[in-house]
Chain A
Amino acid sequence: MSSTPVLLDNAQTQARSEVLKDKILPAMLAGLLGLGLLYATGFAEAAQLHNAAHDGRHSASFPCH
Chain B
Amino acid sequence: MFNPTTFRELVTAALWTGLLAGLLLTAVQQIQVIPTLLQAEVYEEAASVANAANSHEHHDWQPENGWERTFFTAVANISLGVGFALLIGSVMCLRSRPSNWRKGLLWGLAGYLTFFVAPSLGLPPEVPGTTAAKLSDRQSWWLITVLDTGFGLSLLAFAKTRINKFFGIVLLAAPHLISAPQPEVHSSAAPDELAQSFIAATVFANAVFWLAIGGLMGQFYKKDL
Q: Per a CB cutoff under 8 Å, which of B3, B33, B93, B120 touches A21?
A: B3
Q: How far does the alpha carbon of A64 sit from the alpha carbon of B126 in the complex, in Å?
A: 9
Q: Does B206 belong to the interface (CB within 8 Å)?
A: yes
Which of chain B's residues have a CB closer than 8 A to the CB of A48? 60-61
Q: How far does the alpha carbon of A65 sit from the alpha carbon of B34 in the complex, in Å?
A: 17
**Given contact pairs A30-B14, A31-B87, A58 touches B79 in the complex (Cβ within 8 A):** no
**Do A42 and B120 touch across chains, with their CB atoms under 8 A apart?**
no
Q: Does B89 belong to the interface (CB within 8 Å)?
A: yes
**Do B142 and A62 touch across chains, with their CB atoms under 8 A apart?**
yes
Q: Does B127 belong to the interface (CB within 8 Å)?
A: yes
Number of interface residues of A (CB under 8 A): 39
Q: Per a CB cutoff under 8 Å, which of A27, A40, A56, A57 touches B90?
A: A27
Within 8 A of A (CB), among B179-215: 198, 202, 205-206, 209
Chain B: interface secondary structure? Answer: helix
Q: How far does the alpha carbon of A16 sit from the alpha carbon of B194 in the complex, in Å?
A: 55
**Given contact pairs A61-B202, A65-B128, A55 touches B34 in the complex (Cβ within 8 A):** yes
Q: Per a CB cutoff under 8 Å, which of A24, A35, A58 touches B94?
A: A24
Q: Per a CB cutoff under 8 Å, which of A25, A43, A52, A65 touches B2?
A: A25
Within 8 A of B (CB), among A31-50: 31, 33-38, 40-43, 47-48
Which of chain B's residues have a CB closer than 8 A to the CB of A21? 1-3
CB-nearest residue of chain A to B88: A34
Number of interface residues of B (CB under 8 A): 58
Most buried by B among A34, A42, A47: A34
**Do B60 and A51 touch across chains, with their CB atoms under 8 A apart?**
yes
**Do B14 and A40 touch across chains, with their CB atoms under 8 A apart?**
no
Q: How far does the alpha carbon of A12 sit from the alpha carbon of B75 in the complex, in Å?
A: 45
Which of chain B's residues have a CB closer than 8 A to the CB of A24? 94
**Do B116 and A52 touch across chains, with their CB atoms under 8 A apart?**
no
Most buried by B among A23, A40, A57: A23
Q: How far does the alpha carbon of A37 sit from the alpha carbon of B18 in the complex, in Å?
A: 11
Which of chain A's residues have a CB closer than 8 A to the CB of B120? 61
**Given contact pairs A30-B90, A59-B202, A54 touches B62 in the complex (Cβ within 8 A):** yes
Q: How far does the alpha carbon of A63 sit from the alpha carbon of B120 in the complex, in Å?
A: 10
**Do B63 and A29 touch across chains, with their CB atoms under 8 A apart?**
no
Which of chain A's residues have a CB closer than 8 A to the CB of B94? 23-24, 27
**Given contact pairs A37-B82, A38-B83, A58-B37, A51 touches B206 in the complex (Cβ within 8 A):** no
Could you write out 5 A-B pairs with CB less than 8 Å apart? A30-B7, A37-B82, A43-B139, A54-B73, A60-B80
List 3 tightest A-B contacts by C-beta distance, closest first. Answer: A34-B86, A56-B76, A37-B83
